[in-house]
Structure 1
Amino acid sequence: MQRSLSDWLAWQAGLNPHEIELGLERVRRVIDRLSLDRPAAGVFTIAGTNGKGSTVSFIEQLCLANGLETAAYTSPHLIRYNERMRLNGKEVSDEWLIEQFEVVDAARADIPLTYFEFGTLAALHGFSQARADTWILEIGLGGRLDAVNAIDPDISVVTTIALEHQDWLGNTIDAIAAEKAGILRRGRPAFYGDEPMPDGFRQAAKQIGANVACLGVDFVCQAEPGDTWTWQGSATEFAGLPLPTPADPTQRRNVSLGLAAVEALDPVLLNRSAVERALAAARPAARFQVIDRDRQWIVDVAHNPQAAEILRQKLLDLDAHGPLTVVIGLLEDKQVDGFVAQLADLADRWLVCSVDVARGHDAQELAALIRQAGGRDVMTAGTPEQGFAAARAISQPGERVLVTGSFHIAGPALCWLGLY
């Protein structure tokens, strides 16, 4: 009997005893057996602590606006596993995924792939078969030893670098930066989207021999009066560009990285018409997504202190008043105190949920940590859906409800609100 997509995913989750097992040896062995064809135009690989998905989305849309056929790979997903893989901007079907899983399973033989490795190989094989012009690949964790890095990029992008996944990447910014710099390649263009550039990243790039351009130095974006902004790259500049969605400095940074990366692929692709169409089309879900209903719902996948700091500024910039209810669910490996510290003085009440994944924080334990970090009026609410219902019940019409902390709570929120 043929396996369904859910059957395949459940089986993959148990194939390797480790949920995460960094290293390229297993993946490279299977890639050799799959005999993949590289895309004609090139491969973009995007790493970083925050902003990867938004950057992938803009590069994808800009390539599409120029008539290129695209293949994009991101993780994790919000609702459906299919979201992780897109061909020409559309998520792939269950049948497409099952076909790739069957090929990967036959090629791997007895190699015990992790869930992420299996999915990555399925994406790469399917993209190769689709003959897409360009691949836009998001790193899952770190960079150097992530399965995606088994494919040599033509252009590397690192969005931001902050403390995260210390058990895997190291306990300092420089150690983490060196891991993320592992996606760079000698003599090939690379782009970094934050200031200042960590010493560990700069040193690793020098050892690799990569040509790294930095936002604010080698390419620049600047807000203009009103609702426009400017961008200047190595050979192209624009004034009066419409704002991206969401219209904030962080998203301008992500778009700026995308513009610089595509300019390195081919400056001809940076024509104004295509750029403006890409800005209008690139709207990744659950990135400070504001849904005005009986309450003003704000859904954001922020899940680390750096993202919470950015989220805090967006909340302060939002023209809104009245109490703020936060519905939150975090994974166990996240820095609760640093995350909560950014929002504690803005949140009037917290509804803490357990997210239904292996590494999900228990609601009671998470609530205790939020109280210790300075959270006021902290309550537990069981499942995410119970949390959303409770938030509606204890808030008044017109008040704000923020849902944040994980893809695993943001996705259910969009479903509960009827957007999926």
Structure 2
Amino acid sequence: MNKFLNIPNTNSSLQDWLLYIEQLNIKDIDLNLERVKYIASKLNLLNFTSKIFLVAGTNGKGTTCSILENIFLNSGFSVGLYTSPHLLKYNERIKINGEFLDDLFHIKSFHLIESQRDSIPLTYFEFITLSALLLFKERSLNVIIIEVGLGGRLDATNILNPDISIITNIDIDHVKFLGNNRYKIGLEKAGILRPKKYAIFGDVNITYSIIEIANSLNSKLLQSGLDYMYWKSDLNNWIFWDNQGFIDNLKIINYPLSIVSSAIAAIRVSRLPVSKFIIQKSIKEFFLPYRFQTISYKPRIILDVGHNPHAALYISSRLAEIKSKKSKIYLIIGMLKDKDIKNTLFNLMKYVDFFYCSTLHVERGATAQYLSRYLPNCSIFNNIKEALHYAIKKVNFNNDIILVFGSFISVSEAILALKYISF
């Protein structure tokens, strides 16, 4: 039941609107396109003249979207970007031409959607997806880049008709909603493919269900390692190849090359005029915060928003690169209880010396005690801030590493906590 006696209006704060929107549907996740599509149709949000990129996958969606945005902006296009979740402020979810919008734009958008809602119980994600599309529709954009929230087939973003669909990779995650194996999860994510349109799969380990769906739709499926490729040419550079030719002298950056190359492949098949020079320049300068980002060196503190087994494997590979014989790694972890906690933690055990488990105080948050059942030995903390305080007192500032991992929420709490921790 809605706790608000009065519906917010254009004079209400953004926070009041967000609290209101959160309570329109009793379910946080209610996968169904009928509600959102009905209201989108009323608001004329189902047809865009912009080139639309829709990005799904288990990991790397946000990075892929940001790389696309960066390259298109550097090429002179007007660009809308919608990603989720946010770290500190709701405004982080929507960017137009590289800029976040002031609260008032969001408030006006929410107010218009509410006026057309007809008491339909939109979920939070459905409502804000409509808001993003409305804000994009109000401007004349060349390119719109959308990150899928969950899965693909029944995700609110899938009301659009993308020109190019990207699936970064497939791994086990969100089992309750998507299925318990890669074939079933692939079916859900392949729901974003469109007939005779390009689809990029960014991993050499393709799931056969994606091939089946692509064939049934006559989609133009391009697979990493087959239709386009990448390889390191030396310690600092790499090369991309597709049927349009080579792009060399690409700088190796702090992100998986599989993710970067899938974004390049999508740009190339879009036929939008983007030069090799702009791609080289954009990759060299690209930065997205809190993807294995070192924010302090004495002690070394790394923040990463990864939250599933696939991400944990990547983190382990990075830890293997930086861990020395003298260093100890302290992992501060907080996760949502609907994640694959067991296998995420298992994939981190090889290089982590001390596990500090923290409770996340949100509806879907796992307790530290729940996390600890999957670990042979860990310390338990009430929140990320407490865990950070304790870890900073324990580490050797010259050699040891503190890694905060497991959720956007964990990282956001760490960012806030570090503002008030002196070391």
Say yes or no: TM over 0.5: yes
Q: Does residue 239 of the first structure (1) align with residue 244 of the second (2)?
A: no
CA shift, 1:167, in A, is: 1.1
Instruction: Give the match for residue 174 of structure 1.
Output: 183
CA shift, 1:328, in A, is: 0.4
Does the 8 Å CA contact 1:36/1:124 hold for their aligned counterparts? Answer: yes
AA of the residue aligned to 2:355: W
Instruction: Give the match for residue 256 of structure 1.
Output: 261
What does the per-residue CA deviation read over 1:321-376, in whole Å, with 9 as the maximum and x for residues that have no partner? 41111100000011122011111131111111112321000122222x232xx4x3
Quote the Cα distance in structure 1 between the aligned partners of 2:371 and 2:235: 42
AA of the residue aligned to 2:371: L
How do 1:365-384 and structure 2 match up within 5 A? Answer: 365-367=370-372, 369-371=373-375, 374=376, 376=377, 378-384=378-384
Query: Is the partner of 2:249 in helix, strand or coil?
Result: strand
Quote the Cα distance in structure 2 between the aligned partners of 1:209 and 1:356: 46
Quote the Cα distance in structure 2 between the aligned partners of 1:204 and 1:356: 39
How do 1:126-137 and structure 2 match up within 5 A? Answer: 126-137=135-146
Quote the Cα distance in structure 1 between the aligned partners of 2:110 and 2:285: 30
Instruction: Give the match for residue 354 of structure 1.
Output: 359
Does the 8 Å CA contact 2:151/2:178 hold for their aligned counterparts? Answer: yes
Quote the Cα distance in structure 2 between the aligned partners of 1:93 and 1:318: 40
Q: Does residue 417 of the first structure (1) align with residue 421 of the second (2)?
A: no
Instruction: Give the match for residue 82 of structure 1.
Output: 91
Does the 8 Å CA contact 1:325/1:350 hold for their aligned counterparts? Answer: yes
What does the per-residue CA deviation read over 1:84-124, in whole Å, with 9 as the maximum and x for residues that have no partner? 11111122221111111111111112111000001100000
Instruction: Give the match for residue 363 of structure 1.
Output: 368
Q: Does residue 277 of the first structure (1) align with residue 278 of the second (2)?
A: no
The list of structure 1 runs, each at least 4 consecutive aligned residues, that deviate by more than 4 angstroms after superposition, is none
Measured on the aligned residues, the alpha-carbon RMSD in Å equals 1.6
- Larger mean Cα displacement after TM superposition, 390-399 or 112-121: 390-399
Instruction: Give the match for residue 403 of structure 2.
Output: 402
Distance 1:280-1:130 versus aligned 2 partners, 3 A rule: farther
Does the 8 Å CA contact 1:327/1:388 hold for their aligned counterparts? Answer: yes
Does the 8 Å CA contact 2:46/2:159 hold for their aligned counterparts? Answer: no
Quote the Cα distance in structure 1 between the aligned partners of 2:145 and 2:243: 22
Work out the number of aligned pairs and report it.
Answer: 409
How do 1:96-135 and structure 2 match up within 5 A? Answer: 96-135=105-144
Distance 1:114-1:281 versus aligned 2 partners, 3 A rule: farther
Does the 8 Å CA contact 2:51/2:163 hold for their aligned counterparts? Answer: yes
CA shift, 1:303, in A, is: 0.8
Quote the Cα distance in structure 1 between the aligned partners of 2:361 and 2:206: 37
Q: Which runs of 5+ in 2 are unaligned?
A: 1-8
What does the per-residue CA deviation read over 1:370-406, in whole Å, with 9 as the maximum and x for residues that have no partner? 32xx4x3x11121111111111112121310000000
Q: Which of 344, 348, 356 in structure 2 is aligned with 1:339? A: 344
Does the 8 Å CA contact 1:39/1:135 hold for their aligned counterparts? Answer: no
CA shift, 1:281, in A, is: 4.0
Distance 1:131-1:265 versus aligned 2 partners, 3 A rule: same
Does the 8 Å CA contact 2:239/2:247 hold for their aligned counterparts? Answer: yes
Query: Is the partner of 2:230 in helix, strand or coil?
Result: strand
Query: Is the partner of 2:165 in helix, strand or coil?
Result: strand
How do 1:309-324 and structure 2 match up within 5 A? Answer: 309-318=313-322, 320=324, 321-324=326-329
CA shift, 1:236, in A, is: 3.6
State the TM-score, normalized to the length of structure 1: 0.94
Distance 1:281-1:71 versus aligned 2 partners, 3 A rule: farther
Does the 8 Å CA contact 2:250/2:284 hold for their aligned counterparts? Answer: no
Query: Is the partner of 2:116 in helix, strand or coil?
Result: helix
Instruction: Give the match for residue 21 of structure 1.
Output: 30
AA of the residue aligned to 2:411: A
Instruction: Give the match for residue 11 of structure 1.
Output: 20
Does the 8 Å CA contact 2:249/2:280 hold for their aligned counterparts? Answer: no
Quote the Cα distance in structure 1 between the aligned partners of 2:272 and 2:127: 35
What does the per-residue CA deviation read over 1:21-67, in whole Å, with 9 as the maximum and x for residues that have no partner? 00110011011111137554410000000010000000001110110
Quote the Cα distance in structure 2 between the aligned partners of 1:220 and 1:390: 45
Does the 8 Å CA contact 1:158/1:191 hold for their aligned counterparts? Answer: yes
AA of the residue aligned to 2:365: G
- Larger mean Cα displacement after TM superposition, 318-327 or 90-99: 318-327
Q: Which of 219, 222, 226 in structure 2 is aligned with 1:217? A: 226
Quote the Cα distance in structure 2 between the aligned partners of 1:15 and 1:307: 33
Does the 8 Å CA contact 1:235/1:267 hold for their aligned counterparts? Answer: no
Percentage identity across paired residues of the two chains:
32
Quote the Cα distance in structure 1 between the aligned partners of 2:318 and 2:297: 19
Does the 8 Å CA contact 2:183/2:207 hold for their aligned counterparts? Answer: yes
Quote the Cα distance in structure 2 between the aligned partners of 1:170 and 1:208: 22
- Larger mean Cα displacement after TM superposition, 233-242 or 169-178: 233-242
CA shift, 1:79, in A, is: 1.2
Query: Is the partner of 2:204 in helix, strand or coil?
Result: coil
Distance 1:266-1:418 versus aligned 2 partners, 3 A rule: farther
Query: Is the partner of 2:138 in helix, strand or coil?
Result: helix
AA of the residue aligned to 1:60: E
Quote the Cα distance in structure 2 between the aligned partners of 1:274 and 1:319: 35
Quote the Cα distance in structure 2 between the aligned partners of 1:142 and 1:73: 16
Q: Does residue 183 of the first structure (1) align with residue 187 of the second (2)?
A: no
AA of the residue aligned to 1:190: A
Query: Is the partner of 1:3 in helix, strand or coil?
Result: coil
Does the 8 Å CA contact 2:40/2:46 hold for their aligned counterparts? Answer: no
